[in-house]
Structure formats: C-alpha cells, structure tokens
Amino acid sequence: MQKPIPSLAAAIVTFGLNPFVTAGEFAPYSEPLVADASESAPSFCDAFSSIGKLYKNPENPLIQELTVFGRFQYQGAWVDGSDVNGDDFEDSYDEFRRVRIGAKGKFLQYFDFKANINIVSDGRPSSGELDWDYQSFDEALIGFDIKKAFGVDQLDKLHVSYGRHKFAISHEAVESSKKILTVERSAISNKVYGSDRPTGVKLKAEKGQWSALLGAYSTEVEDEFVAGWGESVAYQASIGYQVSDELQVLADFVYNDGDVGSASTWQYKWATSLSAVYESGRFGLVTDLIYGDNGTAGMGQTNPDRQDEFWGVVVIPHYWLVEDRLQAVARYQYQGSDASEGIRLNSRYLRRTDDTGADINGGRGDSHHSIYLGLNYYLCDHNAKLMAGVEYDELSTPTGDVDALTWWLAFRTYF
C-alpha cells in the first residue's frame, strides 16, 4: 500500500525545486554560480556539490537562502561465519541503504528550516520487499537565531531549533552517514545512537574554542513525522573544546526519564561518551569511550539478562595513501556488559539470519570484539566515493560464541 506524501512534505519539495514560488520579486541565486571569465572554470566536483544551491541573498527581507539536497547510498555485504553451535553459515546482501531528498533555507532574517524525506525502504536483507515511495521524514526542523535577533554579542553562536531531530552522542554517531569512514558505524555507537528521530528542542551555543548543546526530547515513538509529548522526556547535554588546529574533544550525556522497557526511542536509561578527534597531515585518529546503563526492573527493563551497565571503546585510525583520493581506514571496537545479553551486534548484516537459519542468540551477548579494515576512494571528496572493507566479529553469548567475517562494498553520494 502506497503512503501519500504529507502536504508539508509536498510543499517543501515543490518549493525547494522552484525558486520562483513566492510573493513579489524573487531573483534566482544572487551570487554567481559560474566563475568570472578571468577565473578558472569550476570543476565537475565543485559544480556537483553546489548544484542544489538555488538562491542566496542576505538582503532579501523574506527569503535569504534556499537549497535542495539529497543523498544516495547503496551497499553490498557477504557474510561467512559460525554460530553458537559451531555450525557454519554464509549469505550475501545488497541494499539501498539511504535515499533522501529535502530542502533547507533561511527566512525572515532570523529563522531557518530543514526538512528531508526517506524515499526508499529496502527490506530485502530481512526477507522483505523493496519499496520506492515516500516512507517518512528524516528530519523536520525550524530554527531561530537568538544571537542575531537579540544581539547577544557575548557568544559567537546561540541558536534554538524544534522538531524532528537527529539525536547522537559519540563522534562516530555525530558524524553524518555522508562522511563516516566505514560502511557502517560500530555496534556500540549504534546502541547509544539508534536510528530514530526524536521530537524535541535543541539549544546550541559557541564561544571561541568552546561549543555546547542542551536538548530535551519526547520519548514517544513516531515513525513518520513529529511526535507528541504524551510520554516521558529524555535530556541531553554536550560540550566540546577545540584544543588546537589538530585536536578536538567532545563529552556527551543523555538521560532517559521514561521506562526503557516501554515503547521508548531510547532502549537504555542513560549513557555518556568522551570523544577525541585528531588530524595532522595525512594521518587522523578518532576515539570514542562510551559507558551507560541498560536499566533495571525498577527502570522498566524487565528482562534481567539485558539489564545492568554496558561500556565500549572505538578507535578509528585513518591515513591518506594518495592525498584527497585514496584513504586507508581501520577500526577496533569492543563492547561489554555485566548482563549476559547486555550488548548486541549491528542489524547489518550478521543478525540477518532469516535465510541461513544460524543460531546467533539474536546477536545478544556480554562481550563483542570487532575489527574493520577498509579503503575509501574519493571521486569528489565525500560527495561521491567508493568504500570497500572487511570486518571480523567475535561475540560471546550465554550459549556459545559467534565468529564471522563480513566483506563490504558501498557507493555514497550526496549534493
């Protein structure tokens, strides 16, 4: 059954694709998109990355900026492993991972908006169907520039937004899927991040080398658009510091005031992370330390095997073999828990055992090691790249160990 695109989505997409839909004069992009003849012609990559910039005029009192954007991500994986009984299994998968289109802009001098929709649902890796149609909103936000509106000169930035947000803690999760260096994020990162888009309010501030974020979100699950506030609230606080041109650190904390065992966006009670990002010349290093609490019976987590605390570490070194073109990436991840099923593997793709019949205890255990080695080839920076990698997973479960090797191949593009 097809899902009709909500009127808001249709309005946003229509408005974004037609820069003349407005009252009064509305000249197209007021800054030249083609370089002056005296300058070198823009490259294909420059033109591709800016193709969605439809309009920009800071002097226009109504609309200051309007941009349409999109992303396309396709990937394949081949899994070969042994389950808790020592039985071998193997399978292959391909998936349209993300296909989105949206629009963003600035208006009335102090306001901004962003909205994009998912237009594919690929259930084939789980024995489902491939559905090209409107699926849901990814994000739907409206923001207000407090600093500009009220002249808060003490800060470099003060901005508030409301709507359907991307929630993230730890650097690996904060980094957009457009720019992550591995085909999939680590399992511990996905545990604290999830893929839901909670409704809430975010306040962001910057001053010199410091940055901060405060957030409050509804825990009500809403698969399609903006949720209500009929359930509980989750709170987030983050602070970042630019130590030097090469080093940045970030600390995050989230607390779920609801019952984690109920229909809540967060399936844990609280979590914290400490991240560091270092880049110097051709070499870079990302580290994430994560600690949290799954919750107890008193917190709504009724399964004792999935209660108690969890923790993890992620280390991602990367190096340019050919500068700005070919990059080598490695990742080590460990996650553990006091509970026998306190942590879980990623859903892609080791847990997809529908066709193999392998017994991996649902991907749950108390200890999980993962090692990833890969190469990224950049056609147009992150705007168009090819990714290849191999990943080894070792999971300890109450009934035995799971070992598997996954080969990855992916194409990522966005504008």
Give the containing element (helix H, strand E) for 173: helix 171-174
Q: What is the pLDDT of residue 15?
A: 37
Q: Which domains does the chain have, with CATH numbers?
A: 7-414 (2.40.160.10)
Q: What is the pLDDT of residue 40?
A: 61
Amino acid at 395: L
Q: What is the pLDDT of residue 259?
A: 86
In the chain, which residues have pLDDT < 70?
A: 1-41
Cβ-based neighbour number of residue 278 at 10 Å: 16
Q: What is the pLDDT of residue 258?
A: 87
Cα angle value 292/363/124 (rounded, 5°): 120
Exposed, middle or buried: residue 204 (CB in 10 Å: 0-12, 13-18, 19+)? middle
Bond prior to 93 in cis (omega within 30° of 0) = no
Q: What is the pLDDT of residue 409?
A: 99
Q: What is the pLDDT of residue 262?
A: 72
CA distance 358 to 403: 12
Q: What is the pLDDT of residue 17?
A: 39
Q: Return the DSSP state at 194.
A: -
Question: Are 363 and 173 spatial neighbours (Cβ–Cβ below 8 Å)?
Answer: no
Q: What is the pLDDT of residue 14?
A: 42
CA distance 399 to 364: 10
Exposed, middle or buried: residue 257 (CB in 10 Å: 0-12, 13-18, 19+)? middle
CA distance 23 to 279: 47
Q: What is the pLDDT of residue 106?
A: 99
Q: What is the pLDDT of residue 173?
A: 95
The pair of three-digit structure tokens given for residue 24, joined into one six-digit string: 């009064």
